[in-house]
Amino acid sequence: MKELTQKEWQEKLEKDDKAVILDVRTEEEVEEGYIPNSKNIDIYKGQGFVNEVEKLDKSKHYYIYCRSGKRSSQACILLDQMGFSETYNLLGGFSEWEGDKTTA
């Protein structure tokens, strides 16, 4: 896992043809807005989260965010332990995100 600032995260994401944006927030949080083209898997679902993550392509690069950066940091560690090649945590999370946003 690499902890990236918003600027680093966006710059790396734009150049990465293997990038997948993963939102690990709750459905209620996602309804308030999300980063375009992100896939939502709620980390609070415990084993359900692990089951969904196991279906993902481990060769892709995962750019992970939550509201503040704490849950996404946990998700990065978990994905790393599961054998994913590259994970990137968005420092400050969605609450500090200044890039494009979509509302549900």
Catalytic residue, candidates 13, 21, 66, 78: 66
Domain residue ranges of the chain, discontinuous segments joined by + = 2-96
pLDDT digits (tens, 9 = 90+) for 40-60: 999 999 999 999 999 999 999
Tokens of 10: 């966006």
The CATH number, out of the four listed (3.40.250.10, 3.30.750.24, 3.40.50.261, 3.20.20.70), of the domain defined by the range 2-96: 3.40.250.10
Give catalytic status of residue 76 as yes or no: no
Q: Which residues contact 73 (CB under 8 A, 6 or more apart)?
A: 1, 3, 89
pLDDT digits (tens, 9 = 90+) for 60-102: 999 999 999 999 999 999 999 999 999 999 999 999 999 999 9
**Strands lying side by side in the sheet with 38-40:** 2-4, 86-90, 61-65, 19-23, 38-40
